[in-house]
Amino acid sequence: MDTFRVGDYVTRKSYGGDIDFRISEIAIGRSGRRVYILKGLLYRIIADSDEYDLQPRDPGEVQKELQSRLPQDGIHHRSGTRGNSVKTVMRPNGKAGTILHIDSSPDFLEMCMNYYRDAKIKAYGHVIPESEQPGSIRSLLKSTGADILVVTGHDGLKKGSLNINSPDSYRHSRYFIRSVQEARKYEPSFDKLCIFAGACQSYFEGIMEAGANFASSPGRILIHALDPAKVGDRVALTDSRVFVTPEKIAKLTQSGIKGIGGIRTRGHYIVHSRRESRRGL
């Protein structure tokens, strides 16, 4: 009887149990031993492990921890002055950008879509495996009319990788790169289409070179499940006369400047003139 099964919650002993994972797949390695493919429950990391390094986690305890953390992580606007009260942000009359969010994780997509709804941003969400994302980009951009694209899922450096400047050293970065390339074929303008792509430890330089406005991960670190949504949110709600900078993004995301980088990008919030406002446009 197998000790671990697909769907089990585990941590890795060699890393001190610092991250909670779910077993997503069990493969057979070259040595004939089982290799357990793990996906993070709060971070967009994918990794593998031998059975001896796995420590089981109680599902009830894991769910309690997630439920205690996600409300704080997922609140869109929070006051820094009065405890945990939610701060209402007044916006000028206008129209926010529209987000197309493509994610390999149904759970993470749900978190991000709730985040967009809380911010009252129009967003379209699609669950698509990383390997199939590049082939879906252009048709989804066309059908949704989105001007902000978020392409994400899980990623990670492969064990023993020595060349961090090669897509082959990463589990899914090649698909994020191709997705960005496909999006730029559809819309070359960095102002008209803002693109974020990547996940944990992703090949930042390769994704940026492909044409992204923002990407992960300059420091090859883990990023939180909601970090990609916070990038899309900030661009969607920033006045089009103002630029979103990597420094501004770093203050919003949990991973900071080592987790997400990019270029100065014009906001996508179109402020209506007073005349338009009076006419109800």
In this predicted model, what pLDDT tens digit does every residue of 96-130 receive, in sequence order? 999 999 999 999 999 999 999 999 999 999 999 99
Query: What pLDDT score was predicted for residue 79?
Result: 32
Q: Which residues pair with 27 in a beta bridge?
A: 35
In this predicted model, what pLDDT tens digit does every residue of 212-231 receive, in sequence order? 999 999 999 999 999 999 99
Residue 227 phi/psi, 5° resolution?
-55, -45
Sign of CA dihedral 103, 123, 240, 187: positive
Question: Among 269, 273, 277, which Cα is nearest to 98's?
Answer: 269
Q: Which helix (H) or strand (E) holds 100?
A: strand 99-103
User: Which CATH homologous superfamily contains domain 90-271?
Assistant: Response regulator (3.40.50.2300)
* pTM score above 0.85: yes
